Homo-oligomer: A and B are copies of this chain.
Amino acid sequence: MKKKELTAIKQTRLNALLDEATKCLVENPSASMNEIAESAGIGIATLHRYVESREQLMIHLGFRAIEVVTATMNDIKLDDERYESYIPELIEALIPLGDKIYFLSHDATVNSNKDIEEQDRALRKPLLRAIELLQQKGYFRQDADKNWIVEVLYSLVFLTWQQVVEGNVARNSAAQLLVDTFYRGFRQNES
């Protein structure tokens, strides 16, 4: 087995560990390293073979979150011909990443890291542009602030993810529910 394959396997396992750690820490931000290791199904010694310290774990988690969310967003293209499908597709893809999105915007350790903070801003840029375009097309309301729209989207994605995890919302109908809420709100139209 070549060396490159070895590091690739390690990387895969590290990513799986990071994903599990994110979920664990979102559920209980004060989870100990022991709890994290147990939650990931590995020993505490092995955990420290992957990450040097708790602080470094947090940094890793931040970058991992950015990486995954960025990749997911890049997969969803804003097609001029079918711009109506952009948000629904994006939401469908983002819901499983609800914990990472939440982690990005709420964890204290992550938010005090300059690099991550900057990458987070870079991450929002294309989303802001997409919303702007949807507004110009007259598809989205133009009297709403773009940044506010993004904040609401993030917030609702996390909420939906959480409701799915807790079993209050069916996984298959979650995206539709969220799109519907995000688009129309709850007021009955009086037309």
Question: Quick check: A140 and B187 within 8 Å, CB to CB?
Answer: yes
Count this chain's copies in the assembly.
2
Other CB < 8 Å A-B pairs besides A28-B108, A141-B187, A151-B163, 11 of them? A29-B30, A29-B108, A140-B187, A144-B180, A144-B186, A152-B186, A155-B158, A183-B186, A183-B187, A184-B184, A185-B185
Question: Quick check: B188 and A191 within 8 Å, CB to CB?
Answer: no
Question: Quick check: A141 and B186 within 8 Å, CB to CB?
Answer: yes
Question: Quick check: B148 and A155 within 8 Å, CB to CB?
Answer: no
Question: Does A169 have its Cβ within 8 Å of any Cβ on chain B?
Answer: yes
Question: Quick check: A108 and B155 within 8 Å, CB to CB?
Answer: no
Q: Out of B139, B148, B188, name the residue touching A187 (CB < 8 Å).
A: B139
CB distance from A149 to the nearest CB of B (A): 6
CB distance from A53 to the nearest CB of B (A): 15
Question: Does A167 have its Cβ within 8 Å of any Cβ on chain B?
Answer: no
**Contacts A29-B30, A185-B181; A159 near B155 (Cβ below 8 A):** yes
A1-53 contacts to B, CB under 8 A, are: 27-30
Question: Does A177 have its Cβ within 8 Å of any Cβ on chain B?
Answer: yes
CB distance from A156 to the nearest CB of B (A): 7
